[in-house]
Amino acid sequence: MEVLREVDELCEWRDGRRIGAGRLGFVPTMGNLHAGHLALIDHARRRAESVIVSLFVNPLQFEDAADLARYPRTEQDDLEQLERAGVAAVFVPTEAELYPNGQQGLVRVDAGPLGERLEGAARPGHFTGVATVVSKLFNLVRPDVAVFGEKDAQQVAVIRRLITDLDFPVELAIEPTHRESDGLAISSRNRFLDEGQRQRAPAVYRALTRAAESLAGGHTVAATLAGARHWLAQQGFEVDYLAYVDDRRFEERDRLVEHGRLVVAARLGEVRLIDNLSVVGAGPGRPSASGESDR
């Protein structure tokens, strides 16, 4: 596995891949790899002959300096996992390498209104930070296919628009959310949960599955969401949002729709958990819930 730390090294590696070397799959990450990331890499391996992964904690997408500072950095362990996973190369730039002119005055890729709703409203500037770094990485890596996790459903929506609106010649692939056996979505942030919080955390997913059952039982979207928010608050969560959206635009919908999705962000103490569940209108008024992407 090639460990590439400089942009020039990456470009040389990319250009040196022989013609006929096949498709290049790309998995952008912020490191601290877990089973969810390994599933993204597996997905990329099924879609491409070789896979490159990036490890970069992107400061642009953190609106809170303390959150950025405490983001877990586990490079040595990450590199060992990537070697075992059989990736061809890993790009590990420093901040100065990727943003040589600093953040002041940086030209950014605006994620548009899609980036301002729900998760974007809770984290102003977050999706513009994501769209900017992903654009840079796409330009540098030039992958044939890039894999993102369904857990970050609004990020997926932003990347889909980024690829379409800015004409990146990249195929978008989505890997379904990976969960612990009790339903908790696997995330780097789970390590911040104390023992009591960890026991309560699966309630986030349970709120989604209960809501999906309620919709399947014919209850309205409004009543279902009110019930789910109330139930989650009873479990000790502070609910940032729990909504039913069209997952292409991330606009709220009061009836079941083709690309419908329940999305939630809720806090347990200092730890903020997000999750989502596809619940699409299938036939006249009948919903179907699925953990799988409908993409």
Which active-site residues does the annotation give? Answer: 37
CA 266, distance to chain mean position in Å, is 16
Q: What is the DSSP letter of 188?
A: G
Shortest distance in whole angstroms from residue 205 CB to ligand PAF: 19
Binding footprint of ligand PAF on the chain (CB under 6 A): 28-30, 58, 61, 130, 133-134, 152, 155
Rounded distance, CA 89 to CA 224, Å? 46
Q: At how many degrees (to 10) do helices 221-234 and 203-216 cross?
A: 150
* Alpha carbon distance 83, 76 (integer Å): 11
Shortest Cβ 88–ligand PAF spacing (Å): 18
Instruction: Please list, residue by residue across 167-201, b when 16 or more beta carbons sit within 10 angstroms of its beta carbon and e when fewer do.
Output: ebebebbbbbbbbeeebbbbbbbbebbeeebbeeb
Beta carbon of residue 126, minimum distance to ligand PAF (angstroms, whole number): 9
Closest CA to 94 of 28, 1, 6: 6
Give whichever of 78 and 152 is closer to ligand PAF, judged by the CB atom. 152
Residue placing its CB nearer to ligand PAF in the complex, 137 or 266: 137
Residues 6+ away with beta carbon under 8 Å from 127:
61, 111, 114, 115, 116, 119, 120, 154, 155, 158
Looking at beta carbons only, is 58 or 224 nearer to ligand PAF? Answer: 58
Q: Are strands 89-91 and 50-55 parallel, antiparallel or unpaired?
A: parallel
Q: Which is nearer to ligand PAF, 119 or 152 (CB)?
A: 152
